[in-house]
Chain A
Amino acid sequence: MRLVPLLSLLVVVPLTVAGCVGKPADQNAGQNADVKEFTLTIGANALAGGKNENTAKWTVDHVIPKFVEAQKAKGVTATVRFEGNGADDKDYKTKVALDLKTGGGADVQEIDGIWLGEFAQAGQAKPLADLVGQDKVDAWDGWSKIPKAVAALGDFDGKRYGVPVGTDGRVLYFNKKLFAQAGLPADWQPRSWDDVLEAGQKLKTVPGVIPIQLNAGTAMTEATTMQGVLPLLAGTGKPVYDNGKWQGASRNLKDVLGLYQKIYSGGLGDPLLQQEAKGRDKSFAQFAGNKIGILLESDYFWRSVVNPANGVAKMTDRDTAVGWAKIPAQRAGSGVGGQDFVSMSGGSIRVVNPNTKYPRQAWELVQFMNSFDATKARVAGTPQITVRSDVNDDVLKGDPMLSYVSKEVLPITRYRPGLAQYTQISAALQQATADVVAGKSPDDAAAAYQQAAVKAVGEASVAVD
C-alpha cells in the first residue's frame, strides 16, 4: 500500500517534468512580427580577450548599438545581448547542439557551415523560408553581392538555412628567415610533394628547427582533416567524397598517409607535438618563435594568429618574415580536376534559431550583421575574406596575403561534403593520421580507417578504389 504512492511519485513527477523540457517550440513565420519591444541574443564562438576577439568586440561595440539605434528609429525598443564562448570548436558544437536540442540557444547563431547538415536533419536548424517566410528571405538585397557558390555554404538539401559569414583558403606558410638560413628562396613555390620534402631536408640542417608541421592526430580534431588530409587527398586526384561514396583505404589515402610517415618518421616533423592536447596552439607559438619552417594552415593563421596587432601568437615582422605558397598536388597535374595546386575551404554561417520567439526580428538582425557597413566594420581591424564581393573589393586590396587567397586560391579550392556522416569520416581520418604519427604503417592505418568508415557509413557507401 505504502509503496504505491511512493512509486507513483517517483515515476510520474519526473516524467511530467520531462514532458515540459527538451522540446523545441513550434514556430510560425509571422510570429510576433509586429511587436514594439523584443529581446534577442547573438551567439558565437568568440570572446572578448580570447578566441576570435574581433568578432566579439565587433558584435558588442558595433552591431548591438547600431541595430538598437536602427530599431529605435522605427519606434521599436530592441534589447540585444551577446553570448560569447571561447571554446574548442568541438566543444562549441556540442554546446550549440545541446542548446538547440533542449529548445534554447541564442536567437542568432554563428555555426560552422559543415555542421549545417547534421543540425538540419535533426530539425535543430530550419530553412529560413519556414522561419520567416520566403518573400522576406528573397527580399534581402545582400544576396546579390554574395557569389552563388559561396551562398551555397548556407544551403542544405536545396534549401537556404543561413547567410555565410566568410570563407577561407589554405596555403603553405613558410618562415623566410629560416628559408634564407637553409639556402631556400624567398619566393618558394613547390610543384610537388617531393619539392616540399626536399625543402624540409634543407631546413633540417638549421639547428633547433622543425622543418614541417602538418596537422595530425585526434587532439587537433578538424584542423587535422582540413589542414592535412583533405588538401592532400585532393592533391592525389580524389576528394574524400565522390560519386556518392566516401573514400576508403584507397591507393590515394595510403599515399597521403605515406607522406605523413615520411614527415614524422623521417625527422622532418615533431611527432610529439602532434600528440599533445594543445599541439596546434603550440605549433602556432613555435612558428611565431621561428622554430617551424613550413606549416599548412588557412588564412586564419595570417590574420588571427601571427597578426602583429592582435594575433594569438604575434609576429612583429609578419609582413616580411612570413611567406606563402599554393599547396602543390602530389605531382604536377595529379590534383582533382587535373589541377597542379589544391586547397580546401570552409566557413561559418549565421542561422536563425528555430526556437526564437522573434523570427522576423532575428532575420532582420542577420541581415543587419551581413550588411555592407557591418561587414566592413567587422573586418576593419583584421582584414578577412568576406562573402560580400563589394566588401572584398574594398578591404582586401591592402593585404597581399588575403588578396592572394582571394584571387589565386579560391578559384582552385574545394568544399567539404555537407553531409551528416562527414563528422564520423573526419574523425576516422584523424585517427588514421594519429596511427601513422604514433608509428603504424600507412597500410595498417588505412585498414583501420576502412573498418571505422564502414562502421560509420556502411560498406556500400565506402569506395576502395
Chain B
Amino acid sequence: MPSTDSAGLGRGRALAFVAPALVLIGIFLVFPALWSIYIGLTDYTLTGPSSVNPQLVGTGNITGALSDPLFGNSLWLTLLFVFGSAMIGQNVLGFTLAWSLRGARRWLRRLVEGLVLLAWILPSTVVAYLWVAVLDRDGGTLNALLNTPGTAWLVQYPMASLIVFNLWRGTAFSMLLYSSALNVVPPSQLETARMVGAGRFSTLKDVVFPHIRGHVLTNTLLITLWTANDFTPFLLTSGGPDHRSETLPVFIYQQALGSGALGYASAISFLLLLVNLVIALVYLRLLRRRG
C-alpha cells in the first residue's frame, strides 16, 4: 500500500511539474495543428460568406492542390531550392570552407568564420533587403561589379538569385558544424593516409567521411528543413514574377493572406508537413542503417 501511495504521489507531483509545459504545448502547438487540419478540410476564407459558415469539403482541398498547376510549380521550385541551395550548395561550400580553414592561421580562421557567420546571424529581413539592393536593376551592386547594366536579376533569374542568396546566408551553419566535426577525425589516420600516398578525394571518402557521417546527415536534415520552410524568398521576390519563385511557404502565404483562402492554404501546409516528414524519415533510416 505505501508503495502505491508514494507512486501516486510521484505521478501527481510529476504531473504538476510538467503541466505548465503541457498547457503551453497544447495551446501553441497541438491546438493550432488540430485547428489547421480541421480548416484544411473546409472552404474557410478570410472574408466573405465562407469566413462565417465554412463548409466541409473533405479532401477537396488536397485533390484541388494536386490538380493545381500552381501547386505543382511551387513544389518543384521548393525541391529545386532545397537541392540547389541546401543539400548540395550549403553542404559542399560549408564543408569546403571548413576543410580549407583547418590548417589556416588562427586569426585568418576567425576572420573568415566571423565574416561568414555575419550573414547567418543578421535578421532575415535585413539580409533580404540588402540583397534586393545588391540585385537591383538600377544602381544595384552586382550590375556595377559585373558591368551588366539593365539586368534585373530578381526578375530575369529569380530562382537562381534565391539559390545564391540562400547559399550565401546558410553556408555559415554548415561550415561551423563541419569545423567541429573535423575535430573528431583522428589526426593519426589522416597522417597514415598521407603516408600511404592516398589522394585528396580518397582521403575524404575513406578516412574523413566515415567519421563525420552523422554530422553530414544531421546538417543535411536541418538545412533541408530550414530551406524548405524558409519564408525569406517572399521578401526578395514575393514569389514573382509570374510565380517563377513561388516556393511552397510563399505559395501558402499568397493563398492564405493574399487570396484569403485559409482552408486551401491549411491543406497545402499539411502537404508541406508531409514533405518534411518524408525527409526526416529518410534521414532517420539512414542513421539507423549506420548504427
Residues of A with Cβ closer than 8 Å to B?
2, 5-6, 9-11, 13-15, 17-18, 90-91, 94, 97-98, 101, 115, 117-119, 121-124, 217-219, 272, 275-277, 282, 420, 423-424, 427, 434-435, 438
Contacts and interface: CB of A to CB of B under 8 A. Distances in A.
Contacts of B260: 94, 97, 118, 423
B49 interface: yes
Given A9-B23, A18-B35, A272-B137, A94 B49 contact: no
Contact of B23 (A13, A115, A217, A438): A13
A117 B152 CA distance: 39
A438 B241 contact: yes
Interface string B62-93: 00000000000000000000000000000000
A275 B240 contact: yes
Interface stretch (B24-32, B178-186, B283-291): B24-32
A5 B30 CA distance: 15
Contact of A10 (B25, B48, B156): B25
Given A90-B258, A275-B155, A275-B242, A14 B137 contact: no
A277 B35 CA distance: 33
Contacts of A275: 152, 155, 240-242
Given A2-B11, A9-B23, A219 B238 contact: yes
B237 interface: yes
B46 A98 contact: yes
Contacts of B51: 101, 122, 124
Contacts of A219: 238, 240-241
A122 B48 contact: yes
B48 A13 contact: no
Contacts of B31: 14-15, 17-18
Given A6-B22, A124-B47, A420-B49, A11 B137 contact: no
27 contacts: A10-B26, A11-B30, A13-B23, A13-B27, A94-B46, A97-B260, A98-B46, A101-B46, A118-B260, A119-B47, A121-B49, A122-B47, A122-B48, A122-B51, A124-B51, A217-B242, A219-B240, A219-B241, A272-B137, A272-B152, A275-B241, A275-B242, A276-B152, A277-B154, A277-B236, A434-B242, A438-B242
Interface of B: 11, 15, 19, 22-23, 25-27, 30-31, 34-35, 46-49, 51-52, 137-138, 152, 154-156, 236-238, 240-242, 257-260
A115 B25 contact: no
B272 to A, nearest CB: 20
A122 B49 contact: yes
Contacts of B156: 272
A454 to B, nearest CB: 14
Contacts of A5: 15
Contacts of A121: 47-49, 52
